[in-house]
Structure 1
Amino acid sequence: MEIFSYLGKYDYEQLVFCNDEASGLKAIIAIHDTTLGPALGGCRMWTYAREDDAILDALRLARGMTYKAAVSGLNLGGGKTVIMGNPKTDKSEAMFRALGRFIQGLGGRYITAEDVGTDVHDMDLIHMETNYVTGISQAYGSSGNPSPVTAFGVFRGMQATAKAAFGTDDLAGRLVAIQGLGSVGMQLARHIKNAGGELIVADINEDSVRRAVDELGAKAVTVKDIFEVECDIFAPCALGAVINDETIDKLRCQAVAGSANNQLAEEKHGDALHRKGVAYAPDYVINAGGLMNVADELEGYNADRAHAKVDNIYNIISNIFAMSAKDNIPSYLAADRLAEQRIAQMRNVRSNYLRDEKSLHR
């Protein structure tokens, strides 16, 4: 991998390699852009086949966090940590405390949080060495489990998407197909049910499917068939890249709005949705509730304030669809432009001279 060429292509600021032989830590911290504020992004632990795969994952995820924070109106930049290792067998106190020291050494340019393969306990260990971490135990003033907040944000984004697709944000009587019933997907299903919507669900976990059927009156289909069911809204809430060459023509919906990251396998699939007249809620916008929630911890967590920020996802998604319609561009591209405009505007804000207090006494 030609690292500096890649950094230059997407204007990254910093790539940090962290190695600690005693604990076995091999980690990469990518900082994409800190124009709006310190870079915030989770710490992912995964068994990467190659070092290049880990580097590329960190870089892509960091850039995605820049866009997510910018379009969400947060005063944060984008960053990410990936740890090379098996999260089931390789974790240790020493490993996460070593990582905490590396993060502390960045002086606040990067703030971490939990992600795939890490949890609250791991963040507590990092917190022993640095304050630049969110998503720690509630005993330390944290916001706790982000899944319910993320699900609420996705629900509000789905309502905005419904308005763009159907002319009303009322989900009563709307049929929503949910692919994936993890912690966010199941919470989202409950919101939809409470709003009067109807559910079709699929998940590899049979217990989760059974619970949705028994508690929410959902209809169950296989994970293969979920793409082809006739519905109003398709909600990807599992793995990424689910809208791809194989599935794009199978979709029988008028809107796509779900919590999964990187739903489009390639940008061309977002273009295809636009041509088909399918309203697509850009994933990094509609699922930003978790980021908004943990970001509030940096101000001293206030649940009401955080909830208001997440509720605003409705307005953000609405603005994206308005730009998409006005400029006749796909919604994913409209979201990117809104993020880039905010970053560029703040980058060009006049830097007024502020006299140093020490200079007054010289």
Structure 2
Amino acid sequence: MSAIWDLRDFDGHEAVHFFHDSQTGLRAIIALHSTHLGPAAGGTRFWHYENRETAVTDALRLSRGMSFKNAMAGLPLGGGKAVILADRNRTKAAGMMAAFGRMVDSLGGRYVTAEDVGISTADMVEVSKQTKYVSGLPISDQGDAGGDPGPFTSMGVYLGIKAAVKHKLGRDSVEDVHVAVQGVGSVGGGVARLLAKDGARLSIADINREHANNLAKETGAAVVGLDEIMRLEADVFSPNALGAVLDKVSIAHLNVPIVAGAANNQLATPEDGQRIFDRGILFAPDYVINSGGIISVGLEYLGDGDVDEVNRRVAKIPERLIEIWQESDARQLPSAEVADNMAQTLLGR
């Protein structure tokens, strides 16, 4: 394996920590991209990686994305991310989350963790028994910020899709707008439900076919195969599963005028932002449209507002997207590049 700083996805990261707990078998990576604006905040992903290089790449890309996401959301937080290397069965051994909590605590507050893929609120409770540098915990009062950040992420993506439909298609409503949703777990499923309530036509795909079928019965969506969802003729493609789904091949086969979804790091390479722009497709930069969850856990950790304040800030996501798209149109630059430039400026880079 190459030295960390020689990897393509190393972007001036402040630190990358590797941890191992012999008692539970826990192996984890915590990447700190930037603490320029505050402690590096970002969730923990529990995932099976085919090799350690893939895990490192994921941690580097995700932590950089969190720096940009927090900066663009106006939060006094830097960017970090943790990945726990799961076995093929994604087994969480007894004491594993407690061990991870001690690892987080050893960084002395430079990193603040929360839920991500494969991690639950209950897992965060176990982590919180070992460290105070954690968010996304159950709420004690209905008006408090906190709890599962997924619904806030879903709401931000839903509002972002509506803004994209207005900007690109000139339509004030998503009624009868055809949205192809890739991944209908906690966040993607929430997006689908909100769109269905507004009368959108949905096509959905998920690795869990039973889960997709159940959601289809609830929303009236059509279920399609995983290999079909990205090639469908539709108004919007909404990627809500794992990242790097937009590459040279898949972009060439997109049959939509809009891409807007919750998945992190949707572009496989920086060049793919130019490719999607060259095809005339409106792209919602992922770390802007999917920032609802970090707004929730960030305000919870900072003690800076209640659920009404979270909702108020989530409602501003479309404004940030419109600003990016307007500059993209004016300067004829990819929206991904425009957003990156804005974030880099906020980070003092």
Q: TM-score, normalised by structure 1?
A: 0.87
Q: Structure 1 residues 289, 267: CA separation in 2 closer, same or farther (over 3 Å shift)?
A: same
Shift of 1:65: 0.9
Q: Which residue of 2 aligns with 1:280?
A: 283
1:355 maps to what in 2? none
Note if 1:218 corresponds to 2:239: no
Counterpart residue number, 1:357: none
Instruction: Summarize the Cα distance change of 1:31–1:213 in structure 2 as closer, same or farther, 3 Å threshold.
Output: closer
- Please state whether the residue corresponding to 1:131 is helix, strand or coil: coil
Residues in 2 aligned to 1:89 and 1:250: alpha-carbon distance in whole angstroms: 33
| Equivalence for 1:34 | 35
Greater displacement, 310-319 / 118-127: 118-127
Partner letter of residue 319 of structure 1? E
Matches within 5 A, 1:87-98: 88=89, 90-98=91-99
**Pairs within 5 Å for 1:56-67:** 56-67=57-68
Aligned length: 345
- 2-structure distance, mates of 1:8, 1:313: 27
Q: For 2:38, what is the secondary structure of its paired residue? A: coil
Structure 1 Cα separation of the partners of residues 172 and 338 of structure 2: 21
Match for residue 109 of structure 2?
108
CA distance in 1, matches of 2:308, 2:50: 43
Please say if residues 47 and 90 of structure 2, whose CA atoms lie closer than 8 Å, have aligned partners that are also in contact: no
- Could you list the per-position Cα deviations for residues 210-246 of structure 1 after superposition, in whole angstroms to 9, with x for gaps in the alignment? 3343332223332222223221111112232222233
Matched to 2:262, the amino acid is S
Provide the C-alpha distance between the structure 1 equivalents of 2:203 and 2:291, rounded to a whole number of angstroms: 24
User: Would you say the 8 A contact 2:137–2:148 is kept in 1?
Assistant: no
Alpha carbons 2:62, 2:265 under 8 Å: kept: no
Residue type matched to 1:316 in 2?
R
Change (3 A) 1:197 1:128: same
State which of 145, 162, 166 in structure 1 corresponds to 2:165. Answer: 162
Contact 2:138 2:148 in 1 (8 A): no
Q: Contact conserved, 2:65 with 2:264, CA < 8 A, in 1?
A: no
Q: What corresponds to 1:2 in structure 2?
A: 3
| 1:333, distance to aligned residue in structure 2 (A) | 0.7
Q: Which of 307, 315, 326 is matched with 2:311 structurally?
A: 307
Q: Max radius of gyration: which structure?
A: 1
Q: What residue number does 1:231 align with?
A: 234
1:179 and 1:5 map into 2 onto residues whose CA distance is 33
**315, 327, 333: which is aligned to 1:329?**
333
Is the Cα contact below 8 Å between 1:46 and 1:82 reproduced in 2? yes
Query: Kindly tell me: are residues 97 and 334 of structure 1, through their superposed partners in 2, closer, same or farther at Cα, counting changes over 3 Å?
Result: same
Per the alignment, do residues 179 and 27 of structure 1 end up closer, same or farther by CA in structure 2, a change over 3 Å counting? closer
Q: Percent identity?
A: 41
Structure 1 CA distance for aligned equivalents of residues 9 and 208 of structure 2: 42
User: What is the deviation of 1:90?
Assistant: 4.5
Rounded Cα–Cα distance in structure 1 between residues aligned with 2:21 and 2:33: 24
Q: CA deviation at 1:201?
A: 2.2
Deviates more, 1:305-314 or 1:39-48: 39-48
For 1:116-149, what per-residue CA distance to the aligned partner results, in whole angstroms no more than 9, with x for missing partners? 2322222111111111001123349762222221
Are the aligned partners of 1:7 and 1:13 in contact in 2 as well (CA < 8 Å)? no
Asked if 1 retains the 8 angstrom alpha-carbon contact of 2:160 and 2:289, the reply is yes
- The separation in 1 between residues aligned to 2:92 and 2:230, in whole angstroms, is 37
Partner SS for 1:227: helix
TM-score (norm. length: structure 2): 0.90
1:5 CA drift (Å): 4.0
Q: Which residue of 2 aligns with 1:339?
A: 343
Structure 1 residue matching 2:249: 3-state secondary structure: coil
Aligned CA distance change for structure 1 residues 315 and 54 (closer, same or farther; 3 Å): same
Change (3 A) 1:15 1:317: same
RMSD over aligned Cα, in angstroms? 2.4
After superposing the two structures, state which structure 1 stretch, 165-174 or 284-293, moved more.
165-174
Q: Verify: 1:257 aligned to 2:264, yes or no.
A: no
Moved more, 58-67 or 168-177: 168-177
